Amino acid sequence: ADFSKFGDPLPNSVYAIHDYSNFGFPSSPEVYKGTDDQKAKMLRSYERKTAYQEKIGGHIWNGEWGPVYASPDDGPNWESINEDRYRVLKDQLAIYEERKISWSIWLYKDIGFQGMVYISPDTPYIKRLKPFLEKKKRLAADEWGCDVSTVDHIFKPVDDWLLEEVPGIKKRYPPMWNVTTHVGRVLRNILLSEELYPEYAEYFKDLSFEDLEEMAASFKFENCVQRQGLNDAIKPKA
């Protein structure tokens, strides 16, 4: 959220922020333990995003926020990772309660990464797509919350080359992006991801209408699992 170049607000308008904390993602430079220094960093990030709203005296609506979560496939310490992510969640909630702002969590439903509910691993969709989902995760094809440690040995030489040959890239907009983010966005999140589309489509090839209906039914609420730690944290604040 960067409103630094905005002038006077439009009438009858609310300018929404997205307050995602770096501490809630695999790319975080440190594990979040809720230290005074970490809480101060979290607050500064929030205040930077809401500076425009405070300046104009406008209502503050945080339209998207929330950490991402690990799963058993991420290794033996996945539960410990999630405890740290829930700590991020609760400390962000404390800021919102103190500042009396409006918010809506991201997100309601997904396949097991961030949602309040997620489709069960035993559903037809996950069972059929599991090899592709594992590959996509290993390649860090998705921009959102990806863990680049699996591909860092490939892309770090490109990052270093760019920094050496065109050091001005460090000032490229947006200012909060580093060269790793710029390279990843173009090469993995766009080029690589586009080339993965045909492979994804093959998983649905020759399926009958009934098969497709069964796949879609994987997303029904009754086939979903609640992320209890997340829901227990936000329910009293809703």
Q: Do 59 and 87 sit in the same domain of this protein?
A: yes
What does the alpha-carbon distance between residue 73 and residue 68 come to, in Å, rounded to a whole number? 14
Q: What is the pLDDT of residue 237?
A: 86
**Residue 238: inside a domain:** no
Q: What is the pLDDT of residue 2?
A: 82
Q: What is the pLDDT of residue 72?
A: 93
DSSP code at position 190: I
Q: Do 6 and 55 sit in the same domain of this protein?
A: yes
The residue from 69, 85, 106 where one domain ends is 106
**Residue 148: inside a domain:** yes
Q: Could you read off the pLDDT tens digit of each residue along the chain, which spans 238 residues?
A: 789 889 999 999 999 999 999 999 998 989 999 999 999 999 999 999 999 999 999 999 999 999 999 999 899 999 999 999 999 999 999 999 999 999 999 999 999 999 999 999 999 999 999 999 999 999 999 999 999 999 999 999 999 999 999 999 999 998 889 999 999 999 999 999 999 999 999 999 999 999 999 999 999 999 999 999 999 999 998 7
Radius of gyration of the chain (CA): 20
Burial of 202 (0-12, 13-18, 19+ CB in 10 A): exposed
Q: What is the pLDDT of residue 226?
A: 97
Which secondary structure element, helix H or strand E, spans residue 182, and what is its range?
helix 179-183
Q: Do 88 and 145 sit in the same domain of this protein?
A: no
What does the alpha-carbon distance between residue 32 and residue 22 come to, in Å, rounded to a whole number? 10
Q: Do 5 and 65 sit in the same domain of this protein?
A: yes
Number of domains in the chain: 2
**Residue 234: inside a domain:** no
Query: For residues 50 and 92, is the Cβ–Cβ distance under 8 A?
Result: no
Q: Do 134 and 187 sit in the same domain of this protein?
A: yes
Q: Do 148 and 219 sit in the same domain of this protein?
A: yes
**Residue 236: inside a domain:** no
Q: Residue 75: left (phi > 0), alpha (psi -120 to 50), or beta?
A: left
Q: Do 98 and 22 sit in the same domain of this protein?
A: yes
The residue from 76, 106, 136 where one domain ends is 106
**Residue 18: inside a domain:** yes
Q: Which domain holds residue 165?
A: 119-226
The values of phi and psi at residue 30, to 5°, are -150, 155
Q: Do 124 and 194 sit in the same domain of this protein?
A: yes
Q: Do 156 and 206 sit in the same domain of this protein?
A: yes
Q: Do 26 and 99 sit in the same domain of this protein?
A: yes
The residue to which tokens 């020759």 are assigned:
206
Q: Do 195 and 128 sit in the same domain of this protein?
A: yes
The residue from 51, 74, 106 where one domain ends is 106
